[in-house]
């Protein structure tokens, strides 16, 4: 039997990698569910809207595609994550992490990033379906990586917050679906066609900035001003939501 | 120096649910300390405060002389904690679960792999190391939880009901593992209501009831306090007539088997009665038993934590 003790502290990167691997292991059981759920509805909506509009403009097509990409992230990051976090709180699953010498921020970041990764197949499916059905040329650039990452972390933050605040998974699922509906409408319908109160509502959803940035990136017109305004807003939302989740998950009675 | 000191600890839920009501004791470094008590006695509430998952309403807990705070990093580094079910590990394979926990405790990859293999061998799960934790039985979940509490050799172990759902072979294996850790100097805090098993390993024990400590001491000390009592175990013949009237107040411990606790001065009178021809003909077996830790537990667990029981 060994009697030497562990150092009692893992390096930050090593700990994050272990935690992320633990979260990603969930895909072993549920990968089909993640792919189907995150791609079926956004792809279906993109196809439905194409069928109902004759000769959509390139701008409208890109709005629909960008909106559905963000919807794909929303499904895993908000609807599914909210239920998962509510279940984790209810069953005291966080106790395992909170009794190990690992930073809570690393635990939360690993959960948020894992659910963003679960959304990636859906994003790829929506982009492919969008390009095929709308016949538009999509500019795929490295800029998509931070935008999808930022949108994913911000939306996962909302999902995790809903999960923390809900008394059970059922309520978390219900509220998650409501927020998802809001993202769907406010993300796909151009702001110019929305009534003023809904425009104001869209301003407080990080998905709005994600959709706008995506729209510009996919057309190859992401200017420095766009990055500065929408990129910074996305960053601020991501940071605030992350901190809120980190604080809430650390609550003690 | 004491590993843990608990000073006038109160934990109140809502307005008046006193889950812990003025607990005051210390656990020395290197000892095996048992916290016994029925469901709802406040054992798990106490332990959750000790590991920083919950905060006291008043009073304090000290680890190596320093006050424990919520999510205390020192506690997380020093304590291996076995919670009720390892739900966070359900999607991992058994070996991965132990390795991941070891790495989060600061072991390098190869050290974690090596230690996981040794622990799984010691606990009897090596042949199931590639199975998903979520697909194991309840008892095997417990074993995985114990292996994760032990990996990285934390100097203090807090184990909440470690042998629940385990078969006798696995139970024996776990107690043997814990005794080896005790010999290596690990402080072990056992929370259990399995009194008979705990008696094998604990150095001292606190008996809790309704949020208070009813009694604390070594099993020997506590049994000594009950020495004024003696217990008769009586097995009756199957075809014998009813002697229920004589056994009024006895506890049935099996089919036609009864346990009767008496004040020692009454023993002679009782034996005289049992030796009478009418009664002795009905008795298949008779034993006079000294108090066990279970007797202590049973004697104290209804005392509602009166301070005079200390």
The answer to whether B128 touches B94, Cβ cutoff 8 Å, is: yes
**Domain range summary for chain B, segments of one domain joined by +:** 2-223, 228-289
Q: How far is A89 from chain B (nearest CA, A)?
A: 11
Could you say which of 3.90.1150.10, 3.40.630.30, 3.40.50.300, 3.40.1160.10 is the CATH number of the domain covering B2-223?
Answer: 3.40.50.300
Q: Which residue among B88, B96, B100 places its CB closest to the CB of A93?
A: B88
Assess whether pLDDT exceeds 60 at residue B307: no
Q: Which residue among B85, B100, B105 places its CB closest to the CB of A8?
A: B105
The answer to whether A172 touches A79, Cβ cutoff 8 Å, is: no
Among A101, A102, A249, A251, pick the best mutation site for testing chain B contact (most B Cβ within 10 A): A101
Q: Is B207 helix (H, G, I), strand (E, B) or coil?
A: strand
Q: How many domains does chain A have?
A: 1
Distance CA A134, CA A51 (A): 10
Q: Which residue among A5, A10, A253 places its CB closest to the CB of B103?
A: A10
Region B122-139: mean pLDDT is 94
The answer to whether A71 touches A37, Cβ cutoff 8 Å, is: no
Q: What is the pLDDT of residues B60-95, one digit of tens each?
A: 999 999 999 888 889 999 999 997 777 889 999 999
The answer to whether B158 touches B50, Cβ cutoff 8 Å, is: yes
Distance CA A245, CA A251 (A): 10
The tokens of A72 are what?
């794909």
- How many residues appear in chain B? 310
Q: How far is A230 from chain B (nearest CA, A)?
A: 36
Distance CA A204, CA A11 (A): 36
Assess whether pLDDT exceeds 80 at residue B299: no
Domain membership of residue A184 as a residue range: 29-188+195-249
Cβ contacts of A41 within 8 Å, gap of 6 or more:
A71, A75
Count interface pairs A-B at CB distance under 8 A: 115
Q: How far is B180 from chain A (nearest CA, A)?
A: 8
Q: Is B235 helix (H, G, I), strand (E, B) or coil?
A: strand
Task: State the DSSP string of B104-136.
Answer: HTT--HHHHHHHHHHHHHHHT-GGGTTSBGGGS
Distance CA A181, CA A179 (A): 5
Interface touch B76/A98, C-beta < 8 Å: yes
Q: Is A10 among the domain residues?
A: no
φ, ψ at B211 (rounded to 5°): 85, -5
Low-confidence ranges of chain A (pLDDT < 50): 1-4
- Residues of A whose CB is below 8 A from B57: none
Q: What is the pLDDT of residue A3?
A: 44
State the pLDDT confidence band at B305, using cuts at 50, 70 and 90.
Answer: very low
Q: Is A20 among the domain residues?
A: no
User: Strand order in B204-209's β-sheet?
Assistant: B79-82, B156-160, B187-192, B32-36, B204-209, B212-217
CATH 3.90.320 is the classification of domain B228-289: no
A31 contacts chain B (CB < 8 A): no
């Amino acid at each position: 039997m060994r009697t030497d003790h562990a150092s009692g502290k893992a390096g930050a990167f090593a700990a994050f990698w272990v935690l992320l691997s633990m979260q990603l292991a969930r895909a072993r059981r549920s990968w089909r569910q993640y792919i189907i759920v995150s791609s079926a509805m956004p792809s279906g909506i993109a196809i439905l809207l194409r069928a109902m509009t004759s000769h959509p403009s390139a701008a409208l097509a890109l709005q629909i595609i960008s909106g559905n990409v963000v919807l794909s992230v929303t499904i895993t990051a908000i609807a599914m994550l909210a239920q998962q976090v509510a279940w984790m709180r209810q069953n005291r699953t966080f106790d395992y992490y909170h009794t190990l010498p690992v930073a809570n921020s690393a635990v939360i970041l690993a959960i948020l990033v894992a659910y963003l990764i679960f959304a990636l197949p859906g994003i790829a499916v929506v982009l492919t379906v969008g390009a095929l059905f709308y016949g538009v040329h999509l500019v795929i650039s490295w800029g998509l990586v931070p935008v999808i990452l930022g949108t994913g972390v911000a939306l996962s933050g909302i999902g995790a917050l809903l999960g923390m605040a809900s008394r059970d998974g059922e309520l978390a699922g219900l509220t998650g679906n409501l927020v998802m509906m809001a993202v769907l409408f406010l993300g796909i319908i151009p702001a110019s066609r929305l009534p003023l109160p809904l425009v104001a509502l869209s301003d407080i959803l990080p998905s709005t900035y994600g959709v706008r940035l995506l729209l510009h990136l996919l057309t190859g017109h992401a200017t420095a001003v766009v990055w500065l305004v929408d990129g910074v807003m996305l960053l601020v939302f991501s940071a605030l939501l992350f901190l809120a989740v980190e604080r809430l998950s650390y609550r003690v009675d | 120096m004491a590993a843990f000191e608990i000073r006038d600890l109160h934990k109140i839920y809502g307005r008046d649910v006193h889950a812990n009501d003025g607990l005051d004791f210390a656990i020395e470094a290197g000892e095996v300390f048992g916290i016994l008590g029925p469901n709802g006695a406040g054992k798990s509430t106490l332990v959750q405060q000790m590991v920083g998952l919950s905060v006291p309403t008043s009073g304090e807990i000290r680890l190596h002389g320093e006050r424990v705070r919520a999510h205390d990093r020192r506690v997380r580094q020093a304590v291996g904690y076995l919670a009720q079910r390892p739900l966070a590990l359900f999607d991992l394979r058994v070996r991965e679960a132990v390795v991941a926990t070891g790495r989060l405790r600061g072991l390098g990859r190869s050290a974690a792999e090596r230690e996981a293999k040794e622990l799984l061998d010691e606990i009897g799960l090596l042949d199931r190391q590639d199975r998903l934790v979520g697909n194991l039985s309840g008892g095997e979940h417990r074993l995985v939880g114990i292996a994760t509490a032990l990996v990285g050799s934390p100097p203090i172990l807090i184990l909440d009901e470690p042998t629940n759902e385990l078969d006798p072979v696995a139970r024996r294996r776990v107690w043997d593992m814990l005794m080896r850790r005790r010999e290596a100097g690990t402080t072990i805090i056992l929370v259990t209501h399995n009194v008979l098993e705990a008696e094998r390993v604990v150095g001292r024990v606190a008996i809790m009831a309704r949020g208070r400590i009813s009694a604390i001491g070594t099993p020997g000390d506590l049994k000594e306090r009950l020495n004024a009592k003696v217990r008769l175990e009586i097995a009756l013949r199957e075809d014998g007539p009813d002697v229920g009237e004589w056994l009024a107040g006895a506890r049935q411990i099996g089919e036609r088997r009864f346990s009767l606790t008496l004040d020692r001065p009454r023993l002679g009178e009782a034996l005289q009665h049992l030796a009478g021809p009418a009664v002795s003909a009905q008795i298949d077996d008779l034993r006079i038993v000294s108090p066990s830790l279970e007797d202590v537990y049973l004697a104290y667990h209804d005392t509602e934590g009166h301070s005079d029981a200390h």
